[in-house]
Structure 1
Amino acid sequence: MRRLSKPITELQHDYEIVVVGSGYGASIAASRMARCGKKVCLLEKGKEFLPGEFPSTLPEAMSEMQFTKGKTHFGSHNGLYEFIAGDDINVFKGCGLGGTSLVNANVSIEPEDRVFQDEHWPAEVRNTLPALKEGMAHAREMLRPNPYPEGKRGYPTLEKTTGMKKSAAKMGETFRLLDINVTFEDQKNPSGVFQKACNNCGDCVTGCNHTSKNTTQMTYLPDAYNHGAEIYTEVGVRYIERAGNKWVIWFEVYGVGREKFNAPDLFITADMVFLGAGAIGSTEILLRSAQQGLSLSGMLGKRFTGNGDVLGFGYNNDNPVHGVGLGDRVKGVANVGPCITSVIDMRNRPVLDDGMTLEEGSVPGPIGSILVSSLVPLSRLLSKNADTGFADFLKGKWRELKSMFGGPYRGAIDNTQIYLVMTHDDGNGSMSLEHDNPSISWPDVGKQKIFNKVSGKLKDATTALGGTFVVNPTWTPLLNYDLVTVHPLGGCVMGDDATRGVVDHKGQVFANASGKELHPDLFVMDGSIIPRPLGTNPLLTISGLAERNAKIIATANGWPLHYDFSPVSGEETPSTVGIEFTETMKGFFSTAEKQDYAKAFEQGKAQSSPFEFTLTIQSQDVDRFVKDPDHEAGMAGTVKAPSLSASPLTISAGRFNLFVPEPSASYKKKMKYEMKLHSKEGKTFFFKGYKDVQDNKGIDLWKDTTVLYITVYEGDNDQSPIKGMGILKIEPEDLAIQVTTMKAVHATKNTDKLHAISAFGKLFAGALWDTYFVSKLKEIFHRN
């Protein structure tokens, strides 16, 4: 599969449309707006994982976990598995190119129509339900949900499904196989991505390494890419603001070491913005935007819901379940199956909010070992078993011993059914910022009566299998009945006006605390706009709303939107290993002196006119970089220059050349820097600088490699009038930090990482040797 994301050094300064996030809503916005012929840029906070790169062991999974609680944050800020601990409810979500679709259970299911008659929905949604149904149909065309092919094409009947049938029969409830976004035949999908048939490994929620999940990474994002959208990863949007007729999107770049230099945020501009960072992310961005002065509804952060999620375990049943994923252990078709395949559907009750869906699941292989150390003791503390006699009791204990000594694929854990229930909570949670981190508050949510009903149904399902029901360990009196949700919704909810919602029926953001005035061309398109729990898995509803709203927006602007699939041409380019590092240089700059660098430096120093940049220099192919006589790489970053702008400037079209030989003498070389500088005020400057690397009298290697002579032009090229000149230098402490930022790009093997660093090091050292030592030897030889 081709890599979809572009290097940050290719990010342009201005776009027609910027999409933030890459889950269902965001990827649909990118796909549909790109199909309208718009210049689209998508910014994703997480990394891009190609199939085969997702964690497959516990240490790998642990390295991708991040945890936030108030001002406390552990782990990488863009780790794949994101946990947010709130008051009374906790959230798990995905952070990567594909959003939570990378780590969800793939279930495509429609809520009851009654859900959309709730008055929390805008009248335009309640009264035009066919438009939402049409949106869901378009989503199905892309995501291709289908049921697990039980007994067909070599797929066996799953033990967990057999258990669910038995539980449903005992409970007198309806059982059926679910439509899931999983591929069960080798095929090229409509977006041109070849997908392999599911191998039933059960590792869906740590990331599919077999290309079988129909995530947005496999569907909508390649479609956006095929229609010209530019995709950038490890870009975390902080906030947005309005400047003239443009939106300014402020962001930070992860993984390049800018934080080590305390570098400022970067920005780009756009005519139109779609926020699709999810219920937590989009709300978080707008909360920060409000702090920066953007006028918004007082409903921002309100109506948060966990979609009535409840997690439970039917522990140590009488028969095997095979509910722990196998990962790389599997060969051929295994018998775990996709994470969720079936449901006991207990909706369509006389009272809507009494309904629920009960689904089975699997725990992914990378964290399967944790079940042994957790479920065995929890089964004693938080449950009552359903053993019918002493013999049954002994069999259960024997199974526990087999798990304790043989691992999660034997005994009690192998006989454990994992349950996920969705129902209807009251949707009255709220989100705010605490020390700049998202914070969730929802007093006593777990004590709502519906969750006792859920607990009773889970006990019934487990009793039918002869097991022990174990509740989610946080849903206990000891922990104040805290809940965990994998389906956070709300925070930027729809409403008829700003007193009832943050956005209108098409996701456009209200511009005041009341009334119907809208911010021009600012939309939210994800689960945050859903104003109430759905009572079942939300991905199809989120996708259907996004499809509906994209069509409304395109029609309102007169943009033709087509849904046909054209043949995807072009071969995938082989992956290459690159090199990158980040550097900071500081000095002084004068707009008064335009001929002499030294004089400009001294005048800038006397006039307190500093100039500083923090740049990430990146080559996508280290071998090509070494062989290229110009040794050209891209640059991205920021400039702080008060004489140009009071705010940091962001660069674009940055180009760096390492050790370019002088035509007059090959041992004389230059390091060249060229880039455009963009100010918040809308001005563009052109920056040109060089390091003069040549062997003069004395020991000057340090000076030559750490002193940069700069010229800034009033325009977008070096033919524009000169604005000013100066000199920048690398401080020793900054150079020490710079060394720690050097790393290989797109290298998955240690040998590739070592090769990239070694190739760059040899080039750098060889050029210095040629300049400073070979020239000396030649001089000595000629003298003698």
Structure 2
Amino acid sequence: MREHVHAVVVGSGFGGSVAAYRLAEAGRSVVLLERGKEYPPGSFARTPAEMGRNLWDPSEGLHGLFDIWSFRRLDGVVSSGLGGGSLIYANVLLRKDERWFVDESPLPGGGYEHWPVSRADLEPHYDAVERMMGATPYPYKTTRKTEAMRGSAERLGLSWQRPPLAVTFASRPGDPPVAGAPIADQPYGNMYGQPRRTCRLCGECDIGCNDGAKNSLDHTYLSAAKHHGADLRTRCEVRAFAPLPGGGYEVSYVVHDPAAEGHKTATGDLPPHRITCDRLILGAGSFGTTYLLLRNRAALPGLSTTLGSRFSGNGDVLAFLLDAKDPTAHNGLRRIEGSRGPVITSAIRVPDALDGNGATGRGYYVEDGGYPVFAEWLVEASQMPGTVRRAALFALARLRAQFSRTPASNISGLVAGLIGPGRLGDGSLPVLGMGRDVPDGVLRLRGDFLDVQLTAETSREYFDGLRGTMRALAADLGARFADLPTAWAKRGITVHPLGGAPMGRHPKEGTCDAYGEVFGFPGLYVLDGALLPGPVGANPSLTIAAVADRACDRIISTPLTATAVATNRTGVAVPTSLSFTEEMKGFVAKESVDPVRGAELGRSKDQRFMFHLKITADDVDQFVDDPAHEASATGYVECDMLGGRLPVIRGWFNLFTRDGDGAQRRMWYRLHFNDGAGNPLTLIGRKDVRDDPGFDVWRDTSTLYMTVYSGHLWPGDDSAAPVVASGVITIHVPDFLRQLTTFRTEPHSGKAFERFGRFFLGTLWDVYGKALPG
């Protein structure tokens, strides 16, 4: 029998890892297929021989970490390994700037860049990812490259910051930073079972952290996913997938045998393995996911024509500030020490015209770069005239001593002269720029190969401005500015490829909706950089993960049935979603576990509580037919006693459940959020809809008895959890009248409204109708 699971996740980068963890945590069966291998601490390549094999091309026997793509005007560097790009990225977790979520921003060749999600939509998910990844600003205050960037930014009038990094600098949260100290395991454990050590400031982040100080996805989301039962399969490369007639998807993949590493292999002849699933989540990166969709387009009739569009390199530029000088230093050298610290420790932000305040053009970031210590030896050895001169002077001195028979036996000074002052390595710094380039690139197939159609002209002003800032930094530090040689040939290089299967509001605008679900193919999701409809501007990893986390809220809260799998591309109706907003207000107290008593105490102390929620049923027919009548809830709660306005991380709403009593119905609310100190909380509330003496339908449907518990609780966890607060909140009449204006269907459907209305009013009649005169 063919293997079947709830979800297959393809790729283990910032989208795939988040999806695998969230679905496994929610009790779904998950298989994650990663083409690369595991990289536990200590396994990353360091020697020249190891580096020569550290590339990805299984046909040539290469099963390594780096996968290099080369197109006509662009080169791209991505990763192949369990943990995806997190294995080689520079750890930066910056949020996309609020004003850079553009709406219908025109593009030079026609069309526009449009983000159907906002910063507010992503805020709770940014919070969740930062907690999981252990985000913390660089803590050391005397690192020379960090201080060089800070000082130069101040002198040039630029905004500077220490961005959050996914790096562990201290053994435990709150402890002072210590290099090379043991790291305590997380509650979900350590998938490798090997010790990890805090950051040694060795600059090796981009070639893999052999200490495990880097909080890469294998040490965080994937370890947690495995803890919750996810099946993580390495060396499994997906080749094909297709929808199944009865719903769900079949996935075909090949397995790269570890014994084939180092040997040329006819990978096209590898036997296929097959697995079926209810949901298929593509997280193979902008290149990998778009390539899979293009290769399998014949199996996806009616796929949006936007596939391949909105490609962007996130405005990436890599350049170098060389041989910095300081006239006030005794030797004229400005010490920067690019090999000291993690790769990136600080960031300069240059504003965008969207920011206002007189700024013009497209905004960007410039960040300090770093490199391993051994790279400094290579840099110094590459300076042939200086190396030859020092070697000649050393040899001449030794010959003179030999012939003169000098008794001097200490030659330390001569050896120091042979090594040299290391001016170039000590006074140089890579700088990485990224920002809002124009996302008008197109990914297409040329034969069986991926191709990028890209022009440098539309983003020329952006790149000129970015390089201008880099040159200003070089001048301020007394350094030479050096671009990559490929820049002279008008070739770009990116480590942040984005787009290819962009999100949009409808199939003519995007390949996927705002939750990553492919239009016309329910259950098929894109949750990686391919989904983004334009550049993030800042380092994109955090935004990719936050978008995936938001999508997982929707996936988890939406049961998938055969009806939901139907598509208009195959002649069956697409599900219609229905949404509305609800606002309730009241009082709570910590002194009581009884909601009524809690409301009385809260009122006496003026301890107010409210929530503002958007309730969404993704499929009205399914919502009405399912006895649980479950929908998702997003929004925020607000309570000064708990920390102010607090985003809902994930939420569920159940309408008119029977709960074993045919004489009454209940409406249930379950909201996960965190208090002001970051502690997890769960609100569980109910409305009791039953016929008591008198006309009580308004009171029953507008009064919520609620309890706030410690922790993020799933059904069945409630009884043992500590109670934090309790109370009662209600819908006020003006808020109810506003609520009536917020009902929406997508796509617009009068029949969906009618079916929901019949269900709602019919249930009320079942409960209260018998009390009316016959």
Q: TM-score, normalised by structure 1?
A: 0.60
The match for 1:107 is: 92
The match for 1:131 is: 121
* 8 A Cα contact 1:183 1:195, kept in partner: no
* 8 A Cα contact 1:121 1:494, kept in partner: no
Amino acid at match of 1:246: G
The verdict on how the C-alpha distance between 1:293 and 1:554 changes in structure 2, with shifts beyond 3 A counting, is closer
Amino acid at match of 1:455: R
* 8 A Cα contact 1:196 1:210, kept in partner: yes
In 2, Cα distance between the equivalents of 1:293 and 1:12?
Answer: 22
The match for 2:248 is: 246
The match for 2:464 is: 452
Q: Does 1:285 align with 2:292?
A: yes
The verdict on how the C-alpha distance between 1:190 and 1:368 changes in structure 2, with shifts beyond 3 A counting, is farther
In 2, Cα distance between the equivalents of 1:403 and 1:445?
Answer: 50
In 2, Cα distance between the equivalents of 1:404 and 1:489?
Answer: 48
Give 1:166 deviation, angstroms: 2.4
The match for 1:321 is: 336
TM alignment of 1:406-485, pairs within 5 A: 406=419, 410-444=422-456, 448-476=460-488, 479=489, 481-485=490-494
The verdict on how the C-alpha distance between 1:15 and 1:339 changes in structure 2, with shifts beyond 3 A counting, is same
The match for 1:358 is: 366
Q: Does 1:189 align with 2:192?
A: no
Give 1:322 deviation, angstroms: 1.9
Give 1:298 deviation, angstroms: 1.2
In 2, Cα distance between the equivalents of 1:403 and 1:549?
Answer: 59
Amino acid at match of 2:341: G
In 2, Cα distance between the equivalents of 1:216 and 1:275?
Answer: 17
In 1, Cα distance between the equivalents of 2:438 and 2:17?
Answer: 29
**Which of the numbers 254, 260, 265 marks the counterpart of 2:272?**
265
In 2, Cα distance between the equivalents of 1:74 and 1:137?
Answer: 41
In 1, Cα distance between the equivalents of 2:157 and 2:383?
Answer: 28
TM alignment of 1:17-32, pairs within 5 A: 17-32=7-22
In 1, Cα distance between the equivalents of 2:229 and 2:457?
Answer: 45
Give 1:272 deviation, angstroms: 0.7
* 8 A Cα contact 1:242 1:294, kept in partner: no
Per-residue Cα deviation, 1:262-291 (whole angstroms, up to 9, x for no partner): 334322111111001111111111111114
The match for 1:529 is: 531
Amino acid at match of 1:321: I
The verdict on how the C-alpha distance between 1:535 and 1:406 changes in structure 2, with shifts beyond 3 A counting, is farther
Per-residue Cα deviation, 1:62-110 (whole angstroms, up to 9, x for no partner): 211247xxxxx98556421111111211111111000000000000111
In 2, Cα distance between the equivalents of 1:147 and 1:539?
Answer: 16
Q: Does 1:494 align with 2:486?
A: no
Q: Does 1:53 align with 2:43?
A: yes
Per-residue Cα deviation, 1:343-376 (whole angstroms, up to 9, x for no partner): 1121255357521111001123565555457798
In 2, Cα distance between the equivalents of 1:373 and 1:482?
Answer: 28
* 8 A Cα contact 2:362 2:437, kept in partner: no
Size of the aligned set, in residue pairs, is 500
TM alignment of 1:246-645, pairs within 5 A: 246-256=248-258, 257=260, 259=266, 262-292=269-299, 294-318=301-325, 319-324=334-339, 336-349=340-353, 350=356, 353-365=361-373, 371-372=379-380, 406=419, 410-444=422-456, 448-476=460-488, 479=489, 481-510=490-519, 518-557=520-559
Give 1:505 deviation, angstroms: 0.6
In 2, Cα distance between the equivalents of 1:499 and 1:112?
Answer: 26
* 8 A Cα contact 2:243 2:300, kept in partner: no
Q: Does 1:164 align with 2:135?
A: no
* 8 A Cα contact 2:11 2:34, kept in partner: yes
TM alignment of 1:762-781, pairs within 5 A: none
The match for 1:150 is: 140
The match for 1:596 is: none
Give 1:430 deviation, angstroms: 1.4
SS in structure 2 opposite 1:439? strand
Give 1:306 deviation, angstroms: 0.3
SS in structure 1 opposite 2:296? helix
* 8 A Cα contact 1:316 1:415, kept in partner: yes
Give 1:449 deviation, angstroms: 1.4
The match for 1:656 is: none
> Share of identical aligned residues, percent?
33
Per-residue Cα deviation, 1:20-55 (whole angstroms, up to 9, x for no partner): 000111000000000110110000011111010011
SS in structure 2 opposite 1:222? helix
The match for 1:237 is: 238
In 2, Cα distance between the equivalents of 1:118 and 1:432?
Answer: 26
In 1, Cα distance between the equivalents of 2:238 and 2:491?
Answer: 30
Instruction: Name the stretch that deviates more: 192-201 or 450-459.
Output: 192-201
In 2, Cα distance between the equivalents of 1:539 and 1:375?
Answer: 36
In 2, Cα distance between the equivalents of 1:470 and 1:314?
Answer: 6
**Which of the numbers 47, 50, 53 marks the counterpart of 1:63?**
53
The match for 1:141 is: 131
In 2, Cα distance between the equivalents of 1:405 and 1:443?
Answer: 48
Amino acid at match of 2:255: V
* 8 A Cα contact 2:335 2:427, kept in partner: yes
TM alignment of 1:649-688, pairs within 5 A: none
* 8 A Cα contact 2:59 2:266, kept in partner: no
Give 1:12 deviation, angstroms: 7.4
In 2, Cα distance between the equivalents of 1:487 and 1:61?
Answer: 22
Amino acid at match of 1:503: C
* 8 A Cα contact 1:87 1:443, kept in partner: no
SS in structure 1 opposite 2:90? coil
**Which of the numbers 77, 87, 98 marks the counterpart of 1:92?**
77
In 2, Cα distance between the equivalents of 1:77 and 1:499?
Answer: 40
SS in structure 1 opposite 2:522? strand
Give 1:422 deviation, angstroms: 0.8
The verdict on how the C-alpha distance between 1:300 and 1:467 changes in structure 2, with shifts beyond 3 A counting, is same
SS in structure 2 opposite 1:475? helix
SS in structure 2 opposite 1:22? coil
The verdict on how the C-alpha distance between 1:531 and 1:309 changes in structure 2, with shifts beyond 3 A counting, is same
In 2, Cα distance between the equivalents of 1:214 and 1:91?
Answer: 24
Per-residue Cα deviation, 1:110-166 (whole angstroms, up to 9, x for no partner): 12111113336767524xx43311111111110111111124xxxxx1111121122
* 8 A Cα contact 1:234 1:253, kept in partner: yes
* 8 A Cα contact 2:438 2:459, kept in partner: no
Structure 2 runs not aligned, ≥5 long: 105-111, 172-183, 326-333, 386-414, 560-629, 633-649, 652-671, 680-774
**Which of the numbers 82, 90, 111 marks the counterpart of 2:67?**
82
SS in structure 1 opposite 2:487? coil
Q: Which runs of 4+ in 1 moved over 6 A?
A: 373-377, 402-405, 559-566
In 2, Cα distance between the equivalents of 1:502 and 1:353?
Answer: 29
Give 1:184 deviation, angstroms: 0.7
Amino acid at match of 2:185: K
In 2, Cα distance between the equivalents of 1:241 and 1:185?
Answer: 47
TM alignment of 1:181-220, pairs within 5 A: 181-186=166-171, 187-193=184-190, 195-220=196-221
Q: Does 1:40 align with 2:30?
A: yes
In 2, Cα distance between the equivalents of 1:197 and 1:442?
Answer: 41
The verdict on how the C-alpha distance between 1:366 and 1:39 changes in structure 2, with shifts beyond 3 A counting, is farther
SS in structure 2 opposite 1:509? coil
* 8 A Cα contact 1:354 1:450, kept in partner: yes
The verdict on how the C-alpha distance between 1:450 and 1:123 changes in structure 2, with shifts beyond 3 A counting, is closer
